[in-house]
Structures are given as structure tokens and as C-alpha cells.
């Protein structure tokens, strides 16, 4: 079946540094991927839509200069948290749709970010 | 703005019990509805997807129903097992399109006691 892979699974970084998270669709091409953030005991909140070959579309309240998204190929989107702060500590998950009539969304395993 | 609600937030049942998880949404113009399972600290696994034209979908011990007019969906789990313990989320995309972004409920954390 379709698989979406994220890397790293967890990362600890110092406040003020930048961290990059990768999201790959392993056996299908995804022109669109989505980035979500999930705080403990909360639901997933969409951060942005990543479009291959064009700029990402950010949800209201999400700083595009802080959360840089690059979708350089049909199988890879990256989220870079710039100048990270402790309040950015969260679980980040990406998703991709295989398309077609089913529209099943496949999620990555998620990436835990802790900013100290 | 679409809002998805799941109540209660947590549920604890003894092993073997049949149970129903509820999901409601405010905008009935949905393309489909999807149920996911999330284990602690993990990503999401898609369980069932119901197209807007369908009323239910079944997979093993799971059965999901959809009533668009009332803005409700249920996930029925038969003969629950401790391995079913997880958080169950429902989500809907807005309008049409294979690449629509999803709006999630907060999830129901299920605990099945041995």
C-alpha cells in the first residue's frame, strides 16, 4: 500500500536554531502534501498545503517565514522550523493523497520536535 | 467554517464489548468522511473512508456509517479488544477535490480493559 515517510522521528534542538523535517511519498507521486501540527491531547491542526513546484499555502495564523515549506519534487516536501522557540515544540505530521476516486489520505509517522 | 466534534473525549470499556464512537460535523457539504486511528506518539492510520454517496463502510470488526443530512458519522467496533485501545479521529475534507485539506475532530481516546 501507499506509504508516507517522515524523517526524523524525533529531534531536540536549541532555541534559536533551525530544524528541517522531511516528508516523502514512497510509492506514489504527490503533487500536494499537507503539514499538520498536534499539541498534546489536541487534534491535528493544518498548518499549510505544500504544492509541488510552487509556493505553499499557509493557514491563517501560521507564519510563513517561520515555517518554511519546500516541495521540490513529486515525492518530497520539507518543513523547516526557523529560529525555533520552546513553544514550537510539538508533533508535526505530514500527509499526502494518492488521488483518484478514493481520496484516501496517507499520513507520515510524525516528527516530535522539542526545543530547549 | 467546518467544525468537527467528537464526544466524549475518552471512553473506557471492558474487553468484548461492542461500542460506538460518534462524530458530528456542521457543514453537510462534504466530499467524504474518514476515520483514523492514532496510537500514542504515532502518526495516523486510515481505518475507513466513506464517500458522500455512501451510507456505510465495513472493514473487519469496524463499521462506519454516514448521515450527511444530520451531519453525523459513527464508528462501530465489534467485540472490542485491548489492542483497539487508541485515539480515534474523524476528519472531513472541504468540498470536492482529491487533494482537499482535512478538518479533524479532537478524537476519542478509547481504552479497552482486559
pLDDT in tens, A46-62: 999 988 888 899 999 99
What's the pLDDT score for residue B30?
Answer: 87
Could you say which of A43, A100, A109 has the minimum Cβ distance to residue B98?
A100
What's the start-to-end Cα distance of chain B, in Å?
41
More confident residue, B2 or A78: A78
- pLDDT tens-digit map of B10-23: 999 999 999 999 99
B2 CB near a chain A CB, below 8 Å?
no
DSSP structure string for B69-88: TTTEEEEEESS--GGG-EEE
Distance (Å) from the alpha carbon of A35 to chain B's nearest alpha carbon: 10
Give B-chain residues touching A104 at CB under 8 angstroms. Answer: 34, 46, 49
Comparing C-alpha atoms, which of B19, B29, B31 is closest to residue B88?
A: B19
Q: Is the pLDDT of residue B98 over 70?
A: no
| Helix (H) or strand (E) run with residue B67 in it | strand B62-67
Q: How far is CA B29 from the centre of its chain?
A: 18
What's the pLDDT score for residue A65?
Answer: 94
Q: Is the pLDDT of residue A105 over 80?
A: no
More confident residue, A43 or B59: B59
Amino acid at each position: 500500500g501507499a506509504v508516507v515517510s517522515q524523517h526524523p522521528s524525533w529531534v531536540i534542538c536549541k532555541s534559536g536554531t533551525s530544524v528541517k523535517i522531511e516528508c516523502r511519498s514512497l510509492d506514489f507521486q504527490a503533487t500536494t502534501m499537507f503539514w499538520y501540527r498536534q499539541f498534546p491531547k489536541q487534534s491535528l491542526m493544518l498548518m499549510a498545503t505544500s504544492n509541488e513546484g510552487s509556493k505553499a499555502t499557509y493557514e491563517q495564523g501560521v507564519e510563513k517565514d517561520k515555517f518554511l515549506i519546500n516541495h521540490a519534487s513529486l515525492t518530497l516536501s520539507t518543513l523547516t522550523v526557523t529560529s525555533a522557540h520552546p513553544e514550537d515544540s510539538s508533533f508535526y505530521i505530514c500527509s499526502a493523497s494518492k488521488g483518484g476516486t478514493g481520496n484516501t489520505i496517507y499520513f507520515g509517522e510524525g516528527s516530535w520536535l522539542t526545543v530547549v | 467554517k467546518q467544525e468537527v466534534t467528537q464526544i466524549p473525549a475518552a471512553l473506557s470499556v471492558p474487553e468484548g464489548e461492542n461500542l460506538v464512537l460518534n462524530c458530528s460535523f456542521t457543514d453537510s457539504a462534504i466530499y467524504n468522511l474518514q476515520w483514523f486511528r492514532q496510537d500514542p506518539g504515532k502518526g495516523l492510520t486510515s481505518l475507513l473512508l466513506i464517500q458522500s454517496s455512501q451510507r456505510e463502510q465495513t472493514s473487519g470488526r469496524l463499521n462506519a456509517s454516514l448521515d450527511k443530512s444530520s451531519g453525523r458519522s459513527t464508528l462501530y467496533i465489534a467485540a472490542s479488544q485491548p489492542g483497539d485501545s487508541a485515539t480515534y479521529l474523524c476528519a472531513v475534507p472541504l468540498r470536492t477535490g482529491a487533494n482537499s485539506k482535512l478538518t479533524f475532530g479532537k478524537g476519542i481516546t478509547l481504552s479497552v480493559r482486559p
